[in-house]
């Protein structure tokens, strides 16, 4: 999102979220753990190579940031993401969870989710998490094909991922989700089908299926610049995208967001569903993002500053139009679509062609992208954004 310079506040505040007196209205919370064993080749997120020192810095910072924080209303969701949250093990895991407990965040009414990477999962660990209240485990499997895993630079192999999944299943978690990445260079329909069917044979409750994107700042981006591989052509990409949706649908998974599929209604990510629908959320941890009303803020990325309690949150005011654009972009990716009220000048004639081709559907009150339109959701969003 481009910042509107005239609206940008850009103030800094070293006090944990005190700049947001209205945070009392928030019931969806996010904790960011930007630490990983090793950087994956496709990763351009904020994540630091974990060392004992950085783990200590992280814990020291999160303790300071959460000190004295209490949600006014019972939280509805708590999502711990990364990074690799399960890098916090043993006494570090106990300290981390106790920070969350002290802040009264660990008993949300609807969901307490934790993202995990397979290399650091075992039965005792996930049992510990679920005994502390975690209800949803989201496992970064990505693939069970060794070649794909190596290309992506993942440090786990397929056996480790399967064992990790079984550990999650054996815990008290209500649901277990897996991540899947497809549309790698040279991936064909046969490879994709075998990989996804192997994953589905584990019977996850939910699958997040993302096409590989290669953005500036990751190792694959440099390799791409050096012509070390070619991403799939558009028609191949479309074929793989469509096949992924079909395999999941045939296996009984419902697409409720462009990249997210649930086996039954309550297997959805409640936290993400709330965020996609435009609800306020408050993030903690280095580089975490919050959005409350028309204020969007981001915590400091520097781990050393963070560890010293210098949260130095940047915040900016988003315009009404930017908000509506965000709602359009996230809402169109969801099954329910968006309210027509989001548009400031909705002109049906501009999208008649899309309606005739059954790529979007417009009711009296809502506009949504159909299953046929899903592969073109970005193009459809670009067209509709002209009416915001």
Check residue 313 for interaction with ligand SF4 (CB under 6 A): no
36 near ligand SF4, rule: CB under 6 A: yes
CA-based nearest residue to 180, from 260, 104, 258: 260
Q: Confirm if 33 and 87 have CB atoms less than 8 A apart.
A: yes
Give dist(CA 347, CA 351) in Å, integer. Answer: 8
Q: Is 84 in the site for ligand SF4 (CB under 6 A)?
A: yes
Least distance between ligand SF4 and beta carbon 35 (Å): 8
Q: For ligand SF4, what does the binding mask look like between residues 134 and 153, x meaning CB under 6 A?
A: ------x-------------
Smallest separation, CB 189 to ligand SF4 (Å): 25
Shortest reach from residue 372's CB to ligand SF4, in Å? 31
CA distances from 310 to 14, 147, 160 (A): 5, 42, 38
**121 touches ligand SF4 (CB under 6 A):** no
Q: How far apart are CA 203 and CA 165, in angstroms?
A: 10
- Closest contact distance (angstroms) between CB of 242 and ligand SF4 is 25
> Which C-beta is closer to ligand SF4: that of 34 or that of 373?
34
Query: Quick check: 82 binds ligand SF4 (CB under 6 A)?
Result: yes
Q: Tabulate helix, strand, coil % of the chain (nearest 5).
A: 40, 20, 40
Q: How far apart (Å, rounded) are the C-alpha atoms in residues 196 and 199?
A: 5
Query: DSSP code of 21?
Result: G
Binding piece for ligand SF4, criterion CB under 6 A, among 58-66, 82-90, 156-164, 261-269: 82-90
Specify the stretch interacting with ligand SF4 by CB under 6 A; choose among 23-31, 78-86, 100-108, 227-235.
Answer: 78-86
Q: State the minimum distance, in angstroms, from the CB of residue 215 to ligand SF4.
A: 12
Q: Site for ligand SF4 (CB under 6 A): how many residues?
A: 11
40 part of the interface to ligand SF4, by CB under 6 A: yes
Q: Please state, in angstroms and as integers, the Cα–Cα distance from residue 112 to each residue in 35, 129, 177, following that order.
A: 20, 10, 13
Segment near ligand SF4 (CB under 6 A), from 76-84, 159-167, 188-196, 235-243?
76-84
Does 303 interact with ligand SF4 (rule: CB under 6 A)? no
- Binding piece for ligand SF4, criterion CB under 6 A, among 79-87, 94-102, 122-130, 168-176: 79-87
DSSP string, 94-152: HHHHHHHHHTT-S--SSEEEEEE-GGG--HHHHHHHHHTT--EEEEEEE-S-HHHHHHH
- Locate 113 and state its tokens: 């989710």
39 binds ligand SF4 (CB under 6 A): yes
Residue that has been written with the tokens 């027509």 in this structure: 340
Phi, psi of 85 (to 5 degrees): -55, -30
User: Segment contacting ligand SF4 (CB under 6 A): 21-29, 34-42, 166-174, 284-292?
Assistant: 34-42
Please, what is the minimum distance in Å from the beta carbon of residue 84 to ligand SF4? 5
Joined tokens for residue 143:
């693939």
Does 47 bind ligand SF4 (CB under 6 A)? Our answer is yes
- Work out whether 43 is an interface residue with ligand SF4 (CB under 6 A): yes
Gap between the Cα atoms of 61 and 78, Å rounded: 19
Give the binding site for ligand SF4 (CB under 6 A): 36, 39-40, 43, 45, 47, 82-84, 117, 140
């Amino acid at each position: 999102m481009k910042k509107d310079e005239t609206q940008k506040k850009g103030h800094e505040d070293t006090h944990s979220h005190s700049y947001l007196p209205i945070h009392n209205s928030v019931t969806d919370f996010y904790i960011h753990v930007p630490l990983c064993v090793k950087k994956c080749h496709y990763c351009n997120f904020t994540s630091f190579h974990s060392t004992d020192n950085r783990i200590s810095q992280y814990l020291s910072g999160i303790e300071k940031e959460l000190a004295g924080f209490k949600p006014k209303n019972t939280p509805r969701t708590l999502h711990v993401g990364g990074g690799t949250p399960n890098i916090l093990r043993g006494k570090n895991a106990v300290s981390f969870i106790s920070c969350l407990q002290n802040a009264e965040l660990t008993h949300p009414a609807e969901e307490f989710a934790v993202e995990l990477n397979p290399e650091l999962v075992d039965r005792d660990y996930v049992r510990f998490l679920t005994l502390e209240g975690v209800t949803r485990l989201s496992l970064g499997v990505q693939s069970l094909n060794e070649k794909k895993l190596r290309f992506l630079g993942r440090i786990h192999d397929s056996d480790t991922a399967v064992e990790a999944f079984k550990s999650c299943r054996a815990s008290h978690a209500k649901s277990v989700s897996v991540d899947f990445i497809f549309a790698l260079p040279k991936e064909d329909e046969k490879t994709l089908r075998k990989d996804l069917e192997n994953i589905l044979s584990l019977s996850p409750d939910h699958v997040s299926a993302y096409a590989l994107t290669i953005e500036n700042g990751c190792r694959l981006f440099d390799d791409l610049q050096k012509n070390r591989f070619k991403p799939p052509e558009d028609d191949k990409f479309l074929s793989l995208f469509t096949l992924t949706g079909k395999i999941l649908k045939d296996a009984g998974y419902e697409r409720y967001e462009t990249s997210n599929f649930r086996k039954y209604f309550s297997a959805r990510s409640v936290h993400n569903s709330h965020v996609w629908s435009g609800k306020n959320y408050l993030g903690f941890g280095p580089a975490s993002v919050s959005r409350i009303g028309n204020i969007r803020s981001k915590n400091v990325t520097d781990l050393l500053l963070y560890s010293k309690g210098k949260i130095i949150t940047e915040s900016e005011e988003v315009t009404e139009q930017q908000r509506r654009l965000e709602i359009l972009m996230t809402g169109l990716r969801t099954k329910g679509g968006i309210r027509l009220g989001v548009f400031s000048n909705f002109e049906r004639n501009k999208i008649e062609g899309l309606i005739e081709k059954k790529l979007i559907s417009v009711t009296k009150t809502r506009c949504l992208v159909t299953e046929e339109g899903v592969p073109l959701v970005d193009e459809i969003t670009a067209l509709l954004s002209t009416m915001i």
